[in-house]
Structure formats: C-alpha cells, structure tokens
Amino acid sequence: MDPSGSWRSLAGGTNLLLDSPQPLSLESLALFGRFVFCAHSRSVLPQEITYALSSVPVNRWTPSFVTWFAGARPPGPPGYLLPRWFFLRGLAVVYFSAFYSLAFQIRGLIGPSGLLPANLYLEQVAQFVGASRYWYAPTLLWLSSSDRALMALCWAGMLASFALFSNLWPRGMLAVCFLLFLSFVSAAQEFSGYQSDGMLLSAGFLSLFFAPGGWRPGWGEREPPSRASLFLLQFLWFSIYFDSGIAKYFGGDPSWRDLTAMDQYYQNGPLPTWIGWYIQQLPHWFHATTTAITLLVELVLVWMLFLPRRFRAICFCVVTTVQIGIILTANYAFLNYLVLALGILLLDDLFLIKFLPQSCTKALREEPSYNAPKHMQAFVALDLRSCSSAASGLEKNDSETRGPRQTASAGGIWPRWASDLVSASALWLRAFCLVWLLYASLYVVLEQVFRNVPLLPWRPVSLLGPLRITNSYGLFGRMTWKRYEIEFQGSNDGIHWVAYPFCNKPQSLSEAPRMYAPYQPRFDWNLWFASLGVWRENQWVLRVEEGLLSNEPNVLGLFAANPFPGDPPKQVRAVLWQYWFTDPASKRATGMWWRREFQGLFAPTLEPGPDKTFLVTQWPSALPTPP
C-alpha cells in the first residue's frame, strides 16, 4: 500500500481500483476480498492471491474456482512440496511393511489350503450377487487365488512400494499399491477389515490426487499439490483422532470419564511390548494423566489443524510425541506409522526447509517467490484487472503466434479447442472425484458425532463402500479389562499336551514381550480378537485345529515351530488362559514377565475321522464372560 492508501501494481504503479479501464468483474472482487482478508489476518496465503490473479486461466472450459479447488497450488511459500515428499516416502514404508508381513502369512490365511480360502469365498460371493461380484469384491484374485498368485501379489506390492519410496512414477506406483492391497482386503474376510486397513486404503487412494506426475518428479515443484487433495489427507488425519475421541468419551465406557481407562491398558492390549510392562507398573496418577491427555489431544488439540501454521506446527509436535509413546508401548502394526506420516502434512515448506541442508533443497530455494522478502510476497504480480480481458489478451497473443485454430504440443498439432477440452475434462473429473470424497468424509464424521444425518443422502457414501476409502474410526472406544490368550495344543494320548509356539503373541511366561511393528501378524492379532468372544463366532479356529491335525505346511507356517515334526498329533485342542503382567518383585525373584491361569477349553477338541473328516472328542464347557 502506498502513502496515499491505495493498492498499486508493482509492475505498472497504477491504482488498480480507481484507474482500471473496465469495471471489475465479480471474480476479481471476490479475489480482492480474499486478499484483504489474508492481509488483515496476517495469514500466510498471499501466494494464492498471486497465483489466482497473475496466472489467469485461458481455458474457456475451466472456471477459476475449479482450478483453485482441484488444480495445482501456486508455487512458493509456504508451500507443501517438502511435506508431500516426506509423506509419500512414509506411505511407501507403510505399504512395504503391509505387503512384507503378508508374504509370510497370506498362504496360511487365505490360500487354497489356508484357514479361510479366498477361492471358496469368491465362489460364494459370485453365487449370491452374480454379475455385481466384481464391484462388491474388487480384487485381482478373481483371476487366480492360487499360492503362486498370492505370493505374486505380495512381491508386486513390495516392488511397487519400493519404487514409490525411490520416487519412481509416484502416481503409477500408488495405483498399483492401492489395487493390490485392496485385492487382499476384499478377499481376506476375517483377516482384514481392521481400522488400520481402512486408513491405509483411504490414504493411498487420496494420494493418487496428491502425488506429483511424471517418472522422476523430484520435489514435484512443477506440479504442486492441489488444495482439495491436501485438505482431504489432513482431514483424514483429523477424523482418525476426532472420531476416536468421540468414541471414547461418548461411547458408553465410563472408564474414560473417570480417568481409569489406562490403568490396565498396557497389559490388556492386543500385543504389548516390554516397555509397556514397565509403564504398567507406574502409579494410578500417571495413568489418569495419560488418559486425560489422550482425550484432550483427540477432542481439542486436533482442531489446531484449522488454525494458522504456527498452531499446526505446535499440534504436530504434540501428536508426534503421543504417537511415539504408543509405538514404544504397544504393537499396532503400521497404524501409528501411518498416522505419523499423515501428521507431516500439518507442516509446510517454510517450516521444514530450515532443517534440511541447502544442497538437498536447492531447487526450492532458487524459486523467486521463496527468495522474495516476506513483506513483498503478497504483492508479487498482483493485478486485480478484469480476468476476462486478461484472458482475451492472452488468447489473442496465442492466435497471432500459433495461428487461428492450432497450437503446438509435444505430440503434434491439435486444434486449440480440442486441447482445451481434454485438459478441462481431466480437471473437471478430478474436481468431481474430490468433491465426492469430501462429501463422504464430512458425512462420516458428522454421523459419528450426531449418530444420524437425516438431511443428507447416504447413497454417495455407500457407493464408495467396496473401495473401503470412507471409514469411521473409533480406536479403543471400549477398553478390555482382562487379557485372555488362546493356545493350540496337540496330544497323542489325550493326557499329555504340547503347545504350538506362536511367532509374536504372548505365550512363554519368561519371554519378554517384543517390539515388531510395523510388521502385522494377522493370525496372532485375530486370536486376540477371538479370545474376546466365543468359538462359534470364530469358527476359523476349528480350521486351525484341522490344519494342525493334517500337518498342513501353510497352516504350520503361521506358528514359530512344529512340536510334531514327524506324524501329526492324534488330537488337537484350543484352550484359554488368562494372563497378567508380573509385578517388579515377582520378576526380580523369578525372571517371569507374565503369570497365567488356565480357564478351560475354548473350542472343541478334534481328532481325525474316516474319509478326511474330523470328530469332536470333547466340547468346551462354560467359559468366563468375555472382557
């Protein structure tokens, strides 16, 4: 602003409001109002005004609001090139961990001789829904679900995630990773559908719109992320926390309101760590404090996402500390690592560039808008003249240099209207998808808060259901107050029983709980969920017993070892134990991390029968009430 108090163009020095040769359009007035708001609030948004006013679109098929919503953000600070780069590397690590862990389990879980064969499941889906089966179960396993096909899926997923980490064709690799992981989740039945699976599919799908194009995009400075895709990923991060906070405080579990929810959390969670043992020994005031902090973060602090950038940086530091604490005390596979990666999107280039060497960010630092003084960045190329006249002038120049009906392109000579129509169609399609996803994301959060949203249609949300990309989250809305563990045992005489050792879940009393996240042992994980119910609700447990009686290699591969390496046992049973952490005195005296108490049979005891059948030799009696 000059001394006389009027806005003037840096390039021409004219008063753009008083000296404009034509009346200002509504679009220009709206942009000017946005500029005044940003200047008044001292928000770091001037480059958006610069981009919108100096880079006037000449495509008649693309209104400026569509470009603003779904097109690339303007270059320059604050920018999100660095957060995007780090987020995509983190997403690649999460994808790799998911496919890597499946490579050791997938044949035993859903292979033809596994616990829940995918081929039998897909046959049932085809029988019930007919031609719609490809939509209700979108999976490449329709082509083949053999052991070789399952392993090919895992290896292809690992290669694609490694290419994504190496920044090779990010969009293409994201599409491959999403399709392959969706193929597994759609056919895995009881061994999928975890909240972490939904988070990964949501983040992976949204990243298709967020990632830069090209084979080797570098920092992606030629194609900054769009506002809509960035906001949707940030909103996914927000909904994971906020939905969980709503489920905790309003879900009906009184332990969250009386601050006792964390008293037994470290002991009774799915797969604890050895650090969790030590944290469990701390006094109640510590657990009450962590409970209050959890509620404060999930219900209040996460709203800093919608505040200026300094508040978002503070929020990032707090939630990152919380996530690191969770990772150290419990194994929740890749869930917390994915939330950490999403949290990076709270930051911007101006924040991250301070912590990186200049040699790595040379391309960003050489951007003119990054080098401009902060007080001048708001006015670079600022021009509030009529957008229509600017557009017509640009079109006139193009027509003089390129001819009346043609424009040069990398692929040859095309009519200008055709080129404009193709680019506009792609942008409109992207905008339509992003609006759809935004509606679905907002609907799910509103439904979590208000339980029902009668005035808004549900159909657009339900149509996305098979893709598993719009989900509600409610982590630990209800706490478990007892720890039960299922153990499989074999016997040749029905008297002496030998346990099958697990790979990851607690079993040996003297073995310290291990840390292995982001690796996800789905078999061990599902056994913890099964212990919270009854065997009739988890009949795949009987499939485990049948596989052990047959010495099925893929089922045995889910265990750490086979105690019957020759002939299989004559009987197999699943028993239930209740586990507790030992106290410090007991651990010093005995060296034991756990103590346990036998509860009885969890599922029927089986033995081989004629013609590859199995007979029940003992039925379980009444078991303790599930926690």
Per-residue pLDDT tens digits for 45-85: 444 444 444 444 456 777 888 888 888 877 667 789 999 99
- Judged by average pLDDT, the poorest of 104-118, 335-349, 408-422, 571-585 is 408-422
Residue 370 pLDDT grade (very low, low, confident, very high; cuts 50, 70, 90): low
Beta bridge pairs of residue 415: 406
Tokens standing for 251? 């879900």
Considering only residues 17 and 229, tell me which one the structure prediction assigns the higher pLDDT: 229
Q: Alpha-carbon distance 550 to 31, whole Å?
A: 72
Q: State what percent of residues in the chain have pLDDT above 90.
A: 68
The per-residue pLDDT for 413 is 57
Q: pLDDT-based confidence at 367, cuts 50/70/90?
A: low
**How many angstroms separate the CA atoms of 562 and 493, rounded?**
18
pLDDT band of 476, cuts 50, 70, 90: confident
Q: Are strands 483-491 and 498-499 parallel, antiparallel or unpaired?
A: antiparallel
Residue 403's pLDDT band, with cuts at 50, 70 and 90, is very low
Say whether pLDDT at 39 is over 70. Answer: no
Give residue-wise pLDDT tens across range 106-157. Answer: 999 999 999 999 999 999 999 999 889 999 999 999 999 999 999 999 999 9
Please tell me which residue, 516 or 365, carries the higher pLDDT value: 516
Residue 419 pLDDT grade (very low, low, confident, very high; cuts 50, 70, 90): confident
Q: What is the pLDDT of residue 600?
A: 93
Question: CB-based burial of residue 208 (10 Å sphere; 0-12 exposed, 13-18 middle, 19+ buried)?
Answer: middle
The pLDDT score that the predictor gives to residue 417 is: 72
Residue 333 clears pLDDT 90, i.e. is over it: yes
**One-letter amino acid identity for 146?**
S
Summary mean pLDDT of the chain: 84
DSSP state of 624: P
DSSP assignments along 302-352, one per residue: GGGGGS-HHHHHHHHHHHHHHHHHHHHHB--TTHHHHHHHHHGGGS-HHHH
- Judge contact between 318 and 343, C-beta under 8 A: no
pLDDT at 474: 87
Tell me whether strands 412-415 and 406-409 are parallel, antiparallel or unpaired: antiparallel
Question: Does residue 76 contact residue 47 with C-beta atoms inside 8 Å?
Answer: yes
- What is the per-residue pLDDT for 58? 54
**Cα 500 from chain centre:** 34
Q: Would you state the pLDDT for residue 623?
A: 63
- Residue 326 corresponds to which amino acid? I
Q: Which of 151, 76, 74 is nearest to 108 (CA)?
A: 151
pLDDT above 70 (res 288): yes
Give dist(CA 172, CA 178) in Å, integer. Answer: 10
| Count of residues making up the chain | 627
- The Cα–Cα gap between 155 and 107 comes to 13
How far is residue 594's CA from residue 582's CA, in Å, rounded to a whole number? 5
Q: Band the pLDDT of 252: cuts 50, 70, 90.
A: confident
Is residue 113 classed exposed, middle or buried when 0-12, 13-18 and 19+ CB atoms within 10 A define those classes? middle
Interval 484-505 mean pLDDT:
96
* Strand residues in 20-150 grouped as ranges (E): none
pLDDT band at 200 (very low <50, low <70, confident <90, very high): very high
pLDDT band at 5 (very low <50, low <70, confident <90, very high): very low
Question: Which CA distances in Å does 180 have to 90, 126, 468?
Answer: 18, 20, 13
Q: What percent of the chain has pLDDT over 70?
A: 81
pLDDT at 627 over 80: no
* Distance between CA atoms of residues 438 and 445, nearest Å: 11
pLDDT tens digits, one per residue of 448-465: 888 777 778 889 999 999
Q: Give the SS3 label for residue 516.
A: coil
